[in-house]
Amino acid sequence: EDKVVQSPLSLVVHEGDTVTLNCSYEVTNFRSLLWYKQEKKAPTFLFMLTSSGIEKKSGRLSSILDKKELFSILNITATQTGDSAVYLCAPLYNTDKLIFGTGTRLQVFP
Amino acid sequence: EAGVAQSPRYKIIEKRQSVAFWCNPISGHATLYWYQQILGQGPKLLIQFQNNGVVDDSQLPKDRFSAERLKGVDSTLKIQPAKLEDSAVYLCASSLDLGSRRSGYTFGSGTRLTVV
């Protein structure tokens, strides 16, 4: 059965802290792994990772994929209150379906 | 470019009533998805269209849910009759083509359904 496990489920930090969010997956015909940020209703796209070991960066956010060990991490450095959101990991597989994890709820306090 | 449009934004209905949601994808996007997101969970795929054809509806509860995408553009998702456990946010997403590797799928703002 295809599945995605994210950890931790919830994280509370202070501004300026660095956080690491984890995503492990088991899917058939894996193609890519996507990270989304969900603040209210609509998830917004962060990264698409297709190759192992190549770090993608966007400002204070970075992500890397390990296709051998079937996991990905999302790092956020110097966190800000605006980073508070649910972060969703979603492997893309088969006929371009996305399967989402439960997400990690990040709360950043001043 | 305009985003994925969904309506209504909120809907409250009684159980056993019917409800319909509408989605207008980004212009030119061939693939359209409907996801159900129950509170505290990640989105779950209900149905995937490629143009006006169904690619995957394996997780759509077909006894009460139906969806169509006439002319390969707009789509509607219907629930009839609704149950309490259908309370969720219904998200529509679209992508340029199957296997698009340029970006992730674009989601609409969703419709929050409450069944009482």
pLDDT reported for residue B80: 97
Q: Which residue from A90, A95, A103 is facing B56, i.e. has the nearest CB?
A: A95
From chain A, the residues in CB contact with B26 under 8 A are: none
Q: Is the dihedral of CA B21, A88, A110, A56 positive or negative?
A: negative
Helix (H, G, I), strand (E, B) or coil at B71: helix
Mean pLDDT estimate for chain B: 91
Long-range own/partner contacts, residues A67-70 (CB < 8 A, 24 or more apart): A67/A30, A70/A24, A70/A25, A70/A26
Q: In whole angstroms, what separates CA B56 from the centre of its chain?
A: 13
B-facing residues of A in 43-72 (CB < 8 A) are 43-46, 48, 50
> Could A42 and B48 be called an inter-chain contact, meaning their C-beta atoms sit closer than 8 Å?
no
Three-state SS string over chain A comes to CCEEEEECCEEEEECCCCEEEEEEEECCCEEEEEEEEECCCCEEEEEEECCCCCCEEECCEEEEEECCCCEEEEEECCCCHHHCEEEEEEEEECCCEECCCCCEEEEEEC
Q: How confident is the model at residue B100 (pLDDT cuts 50, 70, 90)?
A: low
Nearest partner of B104 among A74, A40, A95, A90, judged by Cα: A90
**Residue B99: pLDDT over 70:** no
Instruction: Kindly report, residue by residue over A79-110, the tens digit of the pLDDT.
Output: 999 999 999 999 988 767 889 999 999 999 99
In DSSP terms, A108 is beta-bridged to: A13
* Sheet with B5-7, edge to edge strand ranges: B5-7, B19-24, B75-79, B65-68
Q: What radius of gyration do chain A's Cα atoms show?
A: 13
Distance CA A44, CA A57 (A): 16
Q: What is the pLDDT of residues B58-84, one digit of tens each?
A: 999 999 999 999 888 999 999 999 999
Which chain A residue is nearest to residue B105, measuring alpha carbons? A45
